[in-house]
Amino acid sequence: MSSSTSSTSWLDDIRWDRDGLVPVIAQEVGSNDLLMFAWANREALARSAETGQAVYWSRSRQRLWHKGEESGHFQQIHEIRLDCDNDVVLYKVTQLGHEPGIACHTGRHSCFFQKLEGGTWRAVEPVLQDPQRIYK
């Protein structure tokens, strides 16, 4: 990212929840598509800023999760932004590893592929790659 992230004092400005986490939204540079939502703790956010690749906190695994570690679908971070209440982080990313980029574990471009229509959720984005081929 940049030399301004070498000190971690910027992390003190974030309003962490009671579990020490902050919501993170990944948005694709260029298209501005919302790709996914996840959580980060201080270490995940510091590593993301240091490496320029998205790192999250997996609540289900209870460990740091480097996006793409299993799938190869990494996220290169261009910007890290903080909302007006200092309690939501935005990663502006390029989704790597497949063209077009796959951010969702279902093999879709975005995790936000379901649309409410007539009182039912309908998948409105195609599966770009079979998840069983991604996660072997």
pLDDT (tens digit per residue) in 28-49: 999 999 999 999 999 999 999 9
DSSP summary character for residue 10: G
- The separation between the first and the last C-alpha atoms of the chain, rounded to the nearest angstrom, is 31
At 59 the pLDDT is 93
| Measured distance CA(10)–CA(51) in Å, rounded | 16
In this prediction the pTM is 0.89
Q: Does domain 3-134 have CATH number 3.10.20.810?
A: yes
| CA-wise closest residue to 74 among 43, 106, 48, 111 | 48
Per the DSSP assignment, residues forming a β-bridge with 53 are: 76
